[in-house]
Amino acid sequence: MPKIIINGKEIDFEKGMTVLQACELADVEIPRFCYHEKLSIAGNCRMCLVEMEKSAKPIASCAMPAVEGMNIKTNTTLVEKARKGVMEFLLANHPLDCPVCDQGGECDLQDQSLYYGVDKSRFVENKRQVKEKYMGPLIKTQMTRCIHCTRCVRFATEVAGVPEIGAIGRGENMEITTYLEKSMESELSANVIDLCPVGALTSKPYAFEARPWELKKTESIDVMDSVGSNIRVDTYNWEVKRILPRLNNEINEEWISDKTRYSCDGLLKQRLDIPYIKKNNKLYKSSWNEAIDLIVKKIQETNPNEIAGHVGDMTGLENALAFKKFFNYFGSKNLEFREKKFYLNPDEKMNYIFNSSIKGIEESDLILLVGTNPRHEATMLNARIRKTFVQKKVPIYSIGDPGDLTYDYQIIGDKTDDISKIIKRENDFSKKLLSSKKPIIIIGESALELKSGKYIFEEIKKFLNENNFISKDWNALNVLVQNASTVGLIDLKILPDEKSDYTFFEKLNNSKFKLLYLLGSDNLKIKKNNEFVVYQGSHGDRGAEIADVILPSAAYTEQNGLYENLEGRVQECRKASYPIGESKEDWKIFNLIIKKIDENNKNFIFELLREEVKEKILNFKEINELPEKTLINKESINSEFISEKITINPLDYYYSNSISRASKTMSECRKINQDIRKTG
């Protein structure tokens, strides 16, 4: 490996590194504003100046390639003087309004000015004034504070794939704007707030809510989709004030979607905080004892075969297991978690997870989307696809039209006939697929919901098996599920008689159930007839609308729980605040009901539930690790060909779950998005 000398110490570095990166290997901290590891190099701020031997002046370490034999000094008088000069220029036009700035306490400029700043300015000219820019309901602007680092511009162009932020003017008169001053059309737009090293871009919903040192910080995971983005939940007086990303290069890197970040205000809206009982088609407040007595009475009066339960899209695995054991206690096996009929083969783990892994997308050399729109269904996974497309020029194809993605793709058809042609090697795409080394095929729920869903999945799987694209080294078969709980609930066999048939939906549609218990189910489309409906959840949403008894439970930020993301990676969601009002954690509610039925019955214990969950999860390795790779079953399941159009069902992105539907911020984003689509 090549070597470089930094402050008299010889350091090995990899070819292609910059001087700044080499300095980091030597544990030397270099101040910077414009440089960011995930963005292209701009070299704007010059704060990273260092001294290089035989150079007449200091060099920008972020833009200078490291070369064998370089002698770099970072702690000389010249370097310090140069950095102080840069800082003086940066502060010349800065308003110095730290006491009223939301960035105060976590501001890079504030931190670095403490070391390199001066107490007096030599500039006597008036400071520039820049009008606030409109960037939508999420981003608050104060562009007088802007230091022209262009991080936001590069992020919008390179990562988000929506190049709507740019610079107008030159020099001191340069301004960062969205050109036409409209809202950013990106589901990743608010990441520019984290990237901004000053207070030019701050969070509009969070404005003047709290100071960073006042917040309690809890590391957790996101449940708005199936990706399992790593997040940090910040609370003040047990109220969730904001959600920020945590670094995890294998999943979300250091970004999160706008829905993940801003739907948190929905945790306070439309909340259920007390039990309710319906009498004469009106809901009345009730006590816990009264509500549970009525539920127990109905359970005891009803044949177990006529009792059904449905588990919602954001349910923790411990609660789901307690729900299953609760149902098994009184002899019912009518359990389901799917909101619609979609084909599912639960025999092997590889049949319902993203086998290539999120990070593995970067290794691929060809990507095929089948009946999916990853931009809305899994935003962070879509960002990884775009990264691969930009950096490696990987070709992307689609069967079915996903609409406006953030990268170029080619539609090769929209029918199952096109899949048949690929399998039979009757079109040009077959040759491209077979000549690739690490292809990725992503099958979405829209494809699996079709009558031909079984054919689509099983024939693609068979084709990949036959051509050695499924092995321990590389598995090209990927299923993109939409909900946070889906993979884990399949592992726990939350299915009718632990099978994947559609008996639940058939009985539901034919009014065969007399008692329906909904555990956080707000997306299940049901026309209520004579069923007695119990709803247990956190929000007064679609499930509560049809309920005869409502039991208030904790939201995902108010209870601990394990979740399994689309890769089959088990992750821990941690309690950041307390349940509001009289609401309780789900497993505790089941304890109350069981004790009413039989006082001698043992209570559920959360720690024991967690250990049992780990035992039941297929191929479980460790928390936060990918599942263990096992031998692949080469046996294929026969399926009948059905000629059918593959249509991608539109997902109401900002209203996809009960929390986001209760969010005022998501409502504003949705309205703006609809207006943009109408007007162009």
pLDDT at 526: 86
Which residues does residue 72 pair with via DSSP β-bridges, in sequence order?
Answer: 6, 52
CA nearest to 484, candidates 566, 371, 557: 566
Q: How far apart are CA 460 and CA 455, in angstroms?
A: 8
Amino acid identity of 41?
I
Question: In this structure, are strands 139-141 and 201-203 parallel, antiparallel, or unpaired?
Answer: antiparallel
Give the helix, strand, coil percentages of the chain, each rounded to 5: 35, 20, 50
* Structure-token pair, residue 192: 């520019």
Q: What is the pTM of this model?
A: 0.94
Helices (H), 286-316: 288-301
Q: Kind and range of the H or E element at 590?
A: helix 586-597
pLDDT at 209: 93
Strand ranges (DSSP E) for 230-383? 230-236, 239-245, 276-279, 282-285, 307-311, 334-336, 366-370
Q: How far apart are CA 45 and CA 51, in angstroms?
A: 16
CB 72 within 8 A of CB 17: no
- Residue 536, pLDDT above cutoff 70: yes
Read off the pLDDT of residues 598-607 as tens digits, 9 standing for 90 and up.
887 888 999 9
Q: How far apart are CA 608 and CA 63, in angstroms?
A: 54
Sole residue written with tokens 């034919």 = 510
pLDDT at 601: 81
pLDDT at 179: 78
- Residue 680, pLDDT above cutoff 70: no
Helix axes 108-116, 77-92, angle to 10 degrees: 130
Helix axes 416-423, 428-435, angle to 10 degrees: 60
Which residues does residue 243 pair with via DSSP β-bridges, in sequence order?
Answer: 233
CA nearest to 656, candidates 490, 515, 508, 482: 482
Q: How far apart are the first and last CA of the chain?
A: 53
Mean pLDDT across the stretch 662-667? 96
* Structure-token pair, residue 462: 């068979």
Read off the pLDDT of residues 237-278 as tens digits, 9 standing for 90 and up.
989 999 999 999 999 999 999 999 999 999 999 999 999 999
Count the Cβ atoms, other than its own, within 10 Å of residue 85: 14
pLDDT at 676: 76
The band of 121, judged by pLDDT with boundaries at 50, 70 and 90, is confident
pLDDT at 579: 95
- Cα dist from 578 to 137, 214, 228, 557, whole Å: 28, 17, 22, 8
* Structure-token pair, residue 204: 């509009």
* Structure-token pair, residue 341: 């009929």
Helix/strand/coil for 179: coil
Q: How far apart are CA 576 and CA 244, in angstroms?
A: 13
pLDDT at 183: 85
Read off the pLDDT of residues 621-643 as tens digits, 9 standing for 90 and up.
999 999 998 766 667 788 889 99
Read off the pLDDT of residues 48-79 as tens digits, 9 standing for 90 and up.
999 999 899 999 999 999 999 999 999 999 99
Q: Among 151-165, 313-327, 605-619, 620-634, whose mean pLDDT is lowest?
A: 620-634
* Structure-token pair, residue 45: 């701020």
Query: Which contacts of 326-333 are long-range, i.e. CB under 8 A and separated by 24 or more positions?
Result: 326/590, 326/593, 326/594, 327/517, 329/594, 329/597, 329/601, 330/299, 330/304, 330/597, 331/304, 332/304, 332/305, 332/307, 332/308, 333/496, 333/497, 333/498
